[in-house]
Structure 1
Amino acid sequence: MMGPSVVLRISFLLVCLLLQIGMLWGQQGNRDVYVVYMGAVPADSSGNILKESHLQLLASVLQRGQHAEKTLIRSYRHGFSGFAARLSKEEALAIGRKAGVVSVFVDPIYQLHTTRSWDFLQQTMVETDPNPDSDPASSTQASDTIIGILDTGIWPESESFSDEGMGAIPSRWNGTCMKGTDFNASNCNKKLIGARYYKDDGAAATPVGRATSDSPRDELGHGTHTASTAGGNAVVQASYYGLAAGTAKGGSTAARIAMYRVCTFNGCSGSAILAGFDDAIADGVDLLSLSLGASAYFRPDFDEDPIAIGAFHAVAKGITVVCSAGNDGPDAGTVVNAAPWILTVAATTIDRRFESDIVLGGSNKAVSGEAINFSNLEKSPVYPLIYGGSAKSNSSSSDVESASRCELGALDGSKIKGKIVLCKHFHNDSPKMSKIEGLNNSGAVGAILIDDLGVAVATAYVSFPATEVSSQAAEEILTYINSTKNPVATILPTITVTKYKPAPMVAYFSSRGPSPQTSNILKPDIAAPGVNILAAWIPSDSSEVPQGQKSSAFKLVSGTSMACPHVSGIAATIKAWNPTWSPAAIRSAIMTTATQTNNDEASLTTDSGSTATPYDYGAGEVSPTSALQPGLVYEVGTEDYLQFLCNYGYQSSEIKLITTIPDGFECPENSSKDLISNLNYPSITISSLMGNGRKIVDRTVTNVGAEEETTYVASIQSPPGIDVKVTPSKLQFTKNIKKLSYQVIFSAVNSSTKGDLLGSITWSDGTCKVRSPLVVSSN
């Protein structure tokens, strides 16, 4: 038996040991991944020297016994300087006070920009074209353009990425094809010329049953979809189980593709996104396409936003960066990726509808519905039809309203078994797929969802007979149910309807302006197809395979994720035709040639039928052919963006760290957010024209059209209640004069003019029309 002194001694030693373990846990356990952003790469630094300086900086804040090499996760040393490391909060604060550090922030997790709820499965479009080789995107001229894509990876065996008939890889390409799980260098070819991946080193846990591989191979489908939309080959006889049949192709079929897998099942970590930017800049891409971003409800400032940071340095190197606007619409002020050096894309519908109609008993009346299902129901209306509100469960927690929405547990299974159930569906309800699963498990044979908001986006229900209708169409069904003793119906399988009018329409999910960050710059910039887009998919996905079928090589998906690569492909074609054009010139060509009318020759609308505005679609719907010959372009250089940062509120000392700037650069004393309107942007936005106020905005255009003498004349559509004058009203270009400036003078007609007021300025030489939208907010 031990004596009291021995017990006390052991107890003391145990306490000491526990204290040491606690201290060690404090050092190692409570640590997050932080990104340390240090701005531009110093001119006299090599990659190895820069990494060593990152390690030294990291070591200076770590406690004794901690190793910088083990704490460091990634070092950025090509396109910009910085690193990601596991730090405590105190260490992060300490490193933020060090000289040369622009910002330190917790590694954010961004999301892919498919539709906002998970019941819209990840998709993108490579649209049907009856003559796939008739456009500039397939010319040999485009074959040297390299599109870099930051996404979920790629399925290299897809026919969309075949290199048949392609020439040698451009000699300027510096990238690599990383070996990984089920992926070798041989998976790359003359089409897919590069593939990288970044290990998921963040704190987020991988979902149960999901193993995130260390490989460029796509496990989600999203990256394969966006890559084939931007630069996929023309693939004939493509379809989604017979729907949307035709030739699937990308926006620039001759372009090369480089994939940077920055996203996993956990999302897209900011540190991986920055690593993708850093490598892509060094690899030699011409353009970067990102169908991902922050939520509208988590909006970091530019110096703490990995996409804004990476895009800034990419654009400074001449790389165009195209990003999705987000899927938090239709609420105003939800647009993300709103930095002025980013080309921001909203989503619209196309002239194709996936119709799944309801046939009612008695008169065999057909009611129009929209969804994707491969219904095996009888074509005749023989199935009992019931309204959810009439099938309320006897549970004390159930109520008629919940039952009418077919919420889980609200329905009596015995009342809906063997029947088609009519349900309301609202924006904040349980996901549609959850409702459908509940109905299916309770024995219902079909479902009709009433959804005014999302009815224009065909949800893929696949094997379960389900469709969606508007409230107006639902009234007809409810009238039939209420006036018939034994109402019956059936749901027909989906058919493809083309040449649908009106189209395009702005999709309900597409995020809207104005941007809370950049209210004096119009965002989004442009709109493109993003609803039910057909593009390549991964054959390993068995989640939506109709009974008795194999996985489809193509899939229909919706989201601004799908709109973004449409514009990326168009931008790649413009770059191929004009190799010396800057990212700003390419953006300008796309914006100033956009259209604001639909195939009914009427103004663009939203999918709810209301008139759309530039806050919905930016400059308008992208026009691929017109963008190749814009006539005039609005150039913006790095120094212009620096001036923007001054006006935004950054100090000269911060800006000098972000990029290499001319000696003596200082922010003007009169810098203010109101002056952001003077950035040489293709659109003009004034956020606060007070009372009878007056505002003058400057713009400069560059002639990229006629080589000889040409004159452009301005035509003005003034916003209501605002007097707009352009001086001079004529711009005369010659062989030697390629750049000319003009001023736009805005004057409020009277103090009662209020709200967001819309107009435009169009310059024309009789051949080219160069249009700039005007948005004036009068208080």
Structure 2
Amino acid sequence: MDNRNHVRCSLPRLAIVGAAVVVLVSLAATPAASHGGPDTGVHSNYLIIVRKPYEYDTNVYKNVSSWHASLVASVCDMAKEALESDPSSVSRLIYSYRNVVNGFSARLTTEEVAEMEKMDWFVRAYPEKTYQLLTTHTPQLLGLMGPGSRRGASAGVWNTSNMGEGVIIGILDDGIYAGHPSFDGKDMKPPPAKWNGRCDFNKTVCNNKLIGARSFFESAKWKWKGLRDPVLPINEGQHGTHTSSTAAGSFVPGANVFGNALGTASGMAPRAHIAFYQVCYVEKGCDRDDILAAVDDALEDGVDILSLSLGDEQADDFSDDPVSLGGYSAAMHGVLVSAAGGNTGPGPSTVVNEAPWVLTVGAGTTDRRFVASVKLGSDITLDGESLSEPKNFGDEMRPLVRDVGDGMCTSENVLRAMNVTGKIIICDAGGDISTAKAKLVLRAGAAGMIVVAPQVFGSVIVPRPHALPTVQVPFANGQKIKAYIRATQNVTANFIFKGTVLNTPKSPIVAPFSSRGPNRRSRGILKPDIIGPGVNILAGVPKIEDIDLAPNAEMPKFDIKSGTSMAAPHLSGIAALIKNAHPTWSPAAIKSALMTTTDTTDNLRKPISDVDGTPAAYYAIGAGHVNARKAMDPGLVYNLSAADYVPYLCGLGYTDQKVNSIIHPAPPVECGKMMKLEQKDLNYPSITAILDKEPFAVNIDRSVTNVGTASSTYTVEVNVPATLSVEVKPTTLEFKALNEVLNYTVSVKTASGQAPASAIEGQLTWSSGKYVVRSPVLIIPGTGAKSSASAVAKQPTGGT
């Protein structure tokens, strides 16, 4: 059924009933809005939540959409003259939701919302809101390909998961270039019989790889005047094509970006199917009501995994966040949601998509660099990275200058006055993106450019192709170059391009932009959950942005991009591989398998570091960096059903209506009549406890399900600082059968008997000889705030 039904609020009531008896047959019994007169107010988009268990009469209404239309009509002004004075009032009901929320979105005036508030079915009206969008090597890096892959894995994950065959990954993003070779359906089997979606492209591009493609625009079109209605889910942006090909792109030989990262590209699950849902628009954003509609349809279409590289830093709680709402409905349908954790790090409390039923993904670097060095006239050579390697830059040393304006190379007049012709210029970050600076510097006559990364990026470089030879250097190296300029007359420099280099040390490092915890909406749940490759990821694009090619030059079909938006589809694809190998596992079991098998050390066997070189905190890496091979066979899992989150929500202090809004369409609950669950006791793969009351001791309960060897014995090991005392009972778990569930309790207290001064990190592992099942342990002090939904909402959001 198409959920885009509209109600004509401007027509006389009898005309509505006569013209659409099925849709609005009950209007004669519905009181008209009391404000009367023509409807000439300003209309805005609202998400309207309907009271639960308020239900419609199936003998009167054909479906939930027709009922929602009647609710809209009950407050719409019926004056005929409104049609001429306000044409936008013709279409009011935008979406009628079936799975994600108990409600609808509609075009309403503030007066009409006020009328709705008087109705017994009304709960809350949310104004319109915009959300933002937050490879050739990573399959080998993550151990998918067998020998030679990460850490010497002997058997690749693709061998045991059939490359995700038969699994459907639903991707919500900003459009897809359907004709890209990454979406070639050759040798792909048809989608499973459960697939119920549609592909709005023609049959030449819709195939057994790209099985679904739709646009959701009904709410966005009112918000962004002049935005062209996308008949097809395609645009000139790159994001959706990049994320889709990362998750499940087909094999494409010879993939590269201007000769860099040359190899055969593929997604994490190259035999999985892609169902694409366009909900975002370039330079605009992603409308909340369109996101909800897309998730609503995706669940009915039959997707197995949902990949969302979008989020909101300002959502008050889980009841007004479309990723949380859609993610819960997905959990009810057995669908795992992998969502980007946000790109506003490294500051604290910046992570988004924090609901415990969502896999929240941060970003780390890979061991691939595009190395280029700056050779100074003093014979010092300083490393950076470049995607702008010319065919022949030459060996001669060139004059080196620094922008005498703002230092950021933002004024073409200043550059020309300096006479930078034939010289290499060093530019600080800021003012504009580096690719735009390159064009300006090139017009001024420069031979090359050095771009100094922000200090907060540490050693991490995010290179881009530039219009002239460019080397991007870390902040520390930039300061050394500037010191050389200040101390020396007739300074010179040259570039040495070394190309793609693999197995670079100290990998991964947490990406500087990757958002950090603590979890603003639920401090007792560690977020992000995990990190994956998210820096310098090569994947498919329609074209490369900000590059002017020579006439008749072929536009590259792959590009390097960075962000948690790139990390999330890596985890989506790996989750699809696990789903193929374990089709009966719940989303929570798949999530647990990913989290308890992570790597916490880099390729030098040292703790994964943050950008400042210190060991990364749990608020940066969650459980650690994904290890796909181990996740396929984790031994034990921490399982949860969708219903298990309800006592947790009640424990947060959410009202019944908020809980029921989140868990829709499950039957309504009353928190006062059920046991509440503290955050620490949610059966989560990570363990977090808030010590905020004397005697600063807590007991934490967990249960684990045996999915490894039928007869197996696990022993516990706890590693925590001496400031904590931790006891686990029992210390041994003896399983006699697969799927057997055993419980244990962790008792934690401070050694001093006082409240912890700051967060304390440790780990708990269950080992059987074959398996090691690890959980991070995070003990944090209280904040003095009440443990309630309102308190959670008032915590600072952080970020920008």
TM-score range, shorter chain: 0.7 to 0.9
Q: Aligned letter for 1:254?
A: R
What corresponds to 2:474 in structure 1? 470
Residue 505 and residue 644 in structure 1: after superposition, are their counterparts in 2 closer, same or farther (change >3 A)? same
Q: How does 1:461-500 map to 2 (within 5 A)?
A: 461-493=465-497, 495-500=499-504
Q: Does the Cα contact within 8 Å between 2:371 and 2:384 map onto a contact in 1? A: yes
Which residue number in structure 2 is paired with residue 603 of structure 1? 607
* Structure 2: gaps spanning 5 or more residues: 1-34, 84-88, 147-155, 783-800
The question of whether the paired residues in 2 share the 8 Å contact of 1:126 and 1:228 is answered with no
2:216 alignment counterpart: 198
Question: Is the 8 Å Cα contact of residues 139 and 145 (structure 2) preserved in structure 1?
Answer: no
Q: Is 1:260 paired with 2:264? A: no
1:685 aligns with 2:699: no
Does the residue aligned with 2:170 lie in a helix, a strand or coil? strand
8 Å Cα contact 2:306-2:572 kept in structure 1? yes
The Cα of 1:79 is off from its aligned counterpart by: 5.1
1-side partners of 2:519 and 2:58: how far apart? 37
Match in the other structure for 1:629:
633
Aligned residue in 2 for 1:104: 125
Residue 355 of structure 1 corresponds to: 371
Which has the larger displacement, 480-489 or 375-384?
375-384
Partner of residue 52 from structure 1, selected from 66, 70, 76: 66
Provide the TM-score with structure 2 as the length reference: 0.84
1:584 pairs with 575, 582, 588, which one? 588
1:52-451, aligned counterparts within 5 Å?
52-65=66-79, 70-78=91-99, 80-96=101-117, 98-113=119-134, 127=138, 129=140, 134=146, 135-137=156-158, 140=162, 142-178=164-200, 183-199=201-217, 201-202=219-220, 211=228, 213-265=230-282, 266-294=284-312, 296=313, 298-361=314-377, 363=379, 365-375=380-390, 378-388=393-403, 391-392=404-405, 403-408=406-411, 411=414, 413-418=416-421, 419-425=423-429, 429-451=431-453
Is 1:773 paired with 2:776?
yes
Give the superposition deviation at 1:692. Answer: 4.4
2:399 aligned partner, one-letter code: P
Q: Take 1:732 and 1:617, find their aligned partners in 2: how far apart are those partners?
A: 31
Q: Which amino acid aligns with 2:536?
A: N
CA pair 351-610 structure 1, distance change in 2 beyond 3 A: same
Partner deviation per Cα, 1:79-127 (whole Å, 9 max, x = no partner)? 54422211112323443554444532122111111xxxxxxxxxx8873
CA distance in 1, matches of 2:127, 2:669: 33
For residues 406 and 175 of structure 1, the distance between their equivalents in structure 2, rounded to whole angstroms, comes to 50
Q: Cα offset for 1:299?
A: 2.6
Structure 1 residue matching 2:579: 3-state secondary structure: helix
2:745: which partner in 1? 743
Structure 2: how far apart are the matches of 1:410 and 1:711? 73
> Letter of the aligned partner of 2:742 in structure 1?
L
The one-character-per-residue Cα deviations of 1:266-295 (angstroms, maximum 9, x if unpaired) are 21111110111011011011110001111x
- SS for the counterpart of 1:504 is coil
1:659 correspondence with 2:638? no
Counterpart of 1:704 in structure 2 is 707
The CA distance in 1 between the partners of 2:669 and 2:228, in whole Å, is 53
Deviates more, 1:165-174 or 1:472-481: 472-481
Once the two structures are overlaid, the 10-residue window that deviates more, 643-652 or 473-482, is 473-482
| CA deviation string 1:619-673 (max 9, x = no partner) | 000010100101111111222211121112212344345435568753468858x
CA contact (8 A) 1:690 1:778 kept: no
Partners of 1:565 and 1:663 lie apart in 2 by 33
Whether the aligned pair in 1 keeps the contact of 2:435 and 2:546 (CA below 8 Å) is: no
**Residues of 2 paired with 1:568 and 1:69: CA distance?**
40
Where do 5+ consecutive residues of structure 1 fail to align? 1-22, 114-123, 393-402
Q: Secondary structure at the match of 1:766?
A: coil
- Are 1:103 and 1:303, in contact at CA under 8 Å, matched by a contact in 2? no
Q: Matched residue of 2:384: which SS? A: coil
CA positional deviation for 1:699: 0.7
- Aligned CA distance change for structure 1 residues 430 and 506 (closer, same or farther; 3 Å): same
| 1:150–1:261 CA contact under 8 A, matched in 2 | yes
Please state how far the C-alpha of 1:207 moved relative to its aligned partner: 9.6
CA-CA distance at 1:615 after TM superposition: 0.4
The 2-side partners of 1:342 and 1:288 are apart by 10
Distance of 2:628 and 2:519 partners within structure 1: 26
Q: Aligned partner of 1:263: which letter? A: C
Q: What is aligned with 1:722?
A: 724
Q: Distance in 1 between matches of 2:396 and 2:58?
A: 75
> Residues 101 and 649 of structure 1: is their aligned pair in 2 closer, same or farther, counting only changes over 3 Å?
farther
Whether the 8 Å CA contact 2:660–2:669 is kept in 1: the answer is no
Instruction: Report which stretch shifted further, 47-56 or 437-446.
Output: 437-446
| CA deviation map 1:341-369 (0-9, x unaligned) | 10000000000111222122364x43212
- Closer, same or farther in 2 for the Cα pair 1:706/1:615, shift >3 Å? same
Query: Which region of structure 1 is more displaced relative to structure 2, 477-486 or 144-153?
Result: 477-486
**Aligned residue in 1 for 2:571:** 567
Distance of aligned partners of 1:377 and 1:241 in 2 relative to their CA distance in 1, 3 Å threshold:
closer
Aligned residues with identical type, % of pairs: 36
Larger CA deviation: 192-201 vs 528-537:
192-201
User: Could you tell which deviates more after superposition, 507-516 or 195-204?
Assistant: 195-204
Please tell me whether the aligned partners of residues 722 and 751 of structure 2 are also in contact (alpha carbons under 8 angstroms): no
Distance in 1, matches of 2:669 and 2:444, equals: 73
Aligned to 2:592, the other structure's residue is in SS state helix
RMSD of aligned alpha carbons: 2.9
**Residue 681 of structure 1, CA deviation:** 0.5
Shift of 1:311: 1.2
In structure 2, the residue corresponding to 1:144 is in which secondary structure? coil
Counterpart secondary structure, 1:746: strand
Partner of 1:517, secondary structure, is coil
SS of 1:605's equivalent in the other structure is coil
Q: Which amino acid aligns with 2:720?
A: S
> Structure 1 residue 211: deviation in Å?
4.9
Q: Distance in 2 between matches of 1:349 and 1:166?
A: 31
Is the Cα–Cα contact under 8 Å of residues 592 and 771 in structure 1 kept in the other structure? yes
Q: Is the 8 A contact 2:100 2:292 kept in 1?
A: no
The one-letter amino acid of 2:585's match is W
